[in-house]
Chain A
Amino acid sequence: MSTLHIVSCSPFSSDSLLRCLSLLSQGDTVLFIENGVYILTCPEQLPPEINCYVLKEDLAARGLSATDMQTAGYADFVRLVCEHDNSVSWA
């Protein structure tokens, strides 16, 4: 069963991201939304083989620009939820 992990907390103000990363399985995807997009200021925290997206509307709101990470829009968000068996929110 594939899981979409939705991370909405800043990596600096919560250890939820670390907990999420420790529970990833093969085939899982991580989507960074809301304050989760601040991961772009410390991408070295992410393991190399992770499949992840960052929500571009939340990037633009915060004045950040996407670097190497794949971006997703609201429509992609819906698609990702449908494509995975489970969705887990990390706040």
Chain B
Amino acid sequence: MSTNKTISLLLRQAPYGNSRAKAALDMALSAAVFEQSVQLIFIDDGVFQLLDKQNPQQIGSKNTSAALAALPLYGIECVYVAAESLAQRGLQLKDLGIPVNVVGLEEIKIMLHQSDTVMTL
């Protein structure tokens, strides 16, 4: 019997520069497998992880965005994206590879405040 906890994961870094994006997704999927409630919040450079048409073959990396499509299979139905971070980077919903919930900083504040655990990568 596992205790259900809400875990918020703040993803703030761009993919491929380091391995944090992949580590964060692995962490989210692992937590979901153990029936925890996982909230993924993409903010700052983390929004770049959601860009469509990533092809890292020539830099010898795995496509971290491919795992995003599998999130609903693990029970992570929605991911949250900071509107301000998208706007700052000139990004629109059509540039992203998966459906997302765009939220403001106030909503993110509330999500973090209500979470049992918050981690940031």
| Chain A residues at the B interface, C-beta cutoff of 8 Å | 8-10, 12-13, 34-35, 38, 41-42, 57-58, 60-64
Contacts and interface: CB of A to CB of B under 8 A. Distances in A.
A9 B13 CA distance: 11
A63 B51 contact: yes
Which 4 A-B residue pairs are closest in the complex by CB-CB distance?
Answer: A61-B56, A35-B17, A63-B51, A63-B54
Contacts of A38: 14, 45, 48, 89
Interface string B18-60: 0000000000000000000000000011001001111111110
A58 B14 contact: no
Contacts of A13: 12-14, 44-45
B51 A62 contact: yes
Nearest to A43: B90
B59 A57 contact: yes
Interface of B: 12-17, 44-45, 48, 51-59, 61, 65, 88-91, 97
Nearest to B47: A12
A38 B91 CA distance: 12
Nearest to A34: B17
A71 B108 CA distance: 37
A36 B12 CA distance: 16
A60 B55 contact: yes
Contacts of B51: 62-64
Given A38-B14, A41-B90, 7 more contacts: A8-B17, A12-B44, A34-B17, A61-B16, A61-B56, A61-B58, A63-B52
Nearest to B90: A41
Contacts of A35: 14, 16-17, 45
B55 A12 contact: no
B43 to A, nearest CB: 11
Contacts of A42: 89-90
